[in-house]
Amino acid sequence: MAFILSEDQQMLRDTAMAFARDELPVTHLRELRDGGANGVDANTRTKLAELGFFGVLVPEEYDGVGLGMVAMGQIMEAQGRTIAATPLLQTAVLGASLLTLGGSEAQKAEWLPKIASGEVTVALALDEGTHHAPLNIATEAERNGQGYTLNGAKRYVSDGHHADMFIVVARTFGEAGQAHGLSLFIVPKDANGLTVQALNTVDSHGAAHLHFEDVAVGEDHVIGAVDAGWEILEPALDRGRIAVAAEALGSAQAAFDLTLDYLQTRKQFGQLIGSFQSLQHRAAKMFTELELTRSCIGAALSGIDENRNDTAELASLAKARASELIHLVSNETVQFHGGIGMTDDHDSGLYMKRARVQEAMLGGASFHRDRYAKLNGF
């Protein structure tokens, strides 16, 4: 399968790369971290909205641009190049996908234009443990006279510390581990009974723990059919997984470029260290893994836009490869740079910290290898 960007997609990629380079360099993340912003930057959010990035997956009839996942992948890769902290994954990918795939006409009309304009940011409140386990949901939603009452807790919700609303996965039937019985609820950040505990994360992007105590929502806040949320959640998660993979690819490419430049300038024993064969072999390994992963991600992005029936397999393949790639490259970047790579003054440590989050987000390599095997009958 040839992966060639259209003219519009190439223009978007060029714009995204230039924006990340000029407006969101790694120094910007340092400034947010050192200033205690915890990854929150209202000015960046405004600029992303002006560029139309929030509306890439939003259909045109809801004020979006509807360019699809291939286009979104270019933006996420550009963001990964500078490990920028933005709400794009949660809002423009997961939020927009969940509402587009399962929202009622009224929900789409109300929320999708607000997402496309950057007026509202969204966070998917899913996992309840330290690892990605989308079926292990114990948060309960009990029917009351006018809707549902939510009780439970969510952990490490990315962007949860500054989201305007949450899409909460709760159980309306069955037990933890079962797909049937999951439902999706729109919960505003100021809902009575909702407690948001902001977290400072190792990658300086921030997250939150959420606690729900008798949080009441109306029936019109349910996305899709009650008990059948998994049918919407799973394909939306796959879009998110591919987007994270694209971001990780961008980070891995930037870290590799950093390392390659060091190999070509640093001297030891009177020679450029890039002339040492052992380091050449390790650099070649990183390069081949980068190109293999790029192909997997390209296939996954195209698969979504083409509505292929194997998108779940492609998503897990892309995310497993990307998780392993960013682990390898971020480690090697620090190792190649030696002592300076261990200091906060050098960017390699920032890439490694973000890499650990990218690896685990929406499932690590082991999760997706297992899922890929099960999807193929093993």
| CB 238, CB 301: distance < 8 Å | no
For residues 136 and 289, what is the distance between their CA atoms, to the nearest angstrom? 32
126 three-state secondary structure: coil
In this structure, which long-range contacts are made by residues 135-138, counting pairs with CB atoms below 8 Å and at least 24 apart in sequence? 135/176, 135/177, 135/178, 135/179, 135/182, 135/230, 136/176, 136/177, 137/169, 137/170, 137/171, 137/176, 137/182, 138/171, 138/176
Task: Summarize pLDDT for 52-101 with one digit per residue, the tens.
Answer: 999 999 999 999 999 999 999 999 999 999 999 999 999 999 999 999 99
For residues 203 and 248, what is the distance between their CA atoms, to the nearest angstrom? 13
Closest C-alpha to 48, from 124, 119, 122: 119
Q: What is the mean pLDDT of residues 148-159?
A: 98
Quick count: other Cβ atoms within 10 Å of Cβ 257? 12
Q: How far is CA 349 from CA 129, 221, 254, 339, in A?
A: 26, 42, 13, 11
Give the per-residue pLDDT at 1. 41
275 three-state secondary structure: helix
Q: What is the mean pLDDT of residues 256-264?
A: 93
Q: What is the mean pLDDT of residues 239-257?
A: 98
Q: Which two tokens stand for residue 61?
A: 């009839």
| CB 159, CB 90: distance < 8 Å | yes
What value, to the nearest 5°, has the Cα angle with vertex 244 and ends 378 and 11? 125
Domains and CATH numbers, the chain: 7-120 (1.10.540.10), 123-223 (2.40.110.10), 230-375 (1.20.140.10)
Task: Summarize pLDDT for 308-352 with one digit per residue, the tens.
Answer: 999 999 999 999 999 999 999 999 999 999 888 889 999 999 999
Q: What is the mean pLDDT of residues 295-314?
A: 97
The pTM (predicted TM-score) of the whole model is 0.96
Q: What is the share, in percent, of the chain residues with pLDDT greater than 90?
A: 92
Tell me how far the alpha carbon of residue 306 is from its chain's centroid: 21
The amino acid at residue 241 is R
- Residue position matching structure tokens 């902290």: 85
Give the per-residue pLDDT at 313. 98
pLDDT over threshold 60, residue 2: no
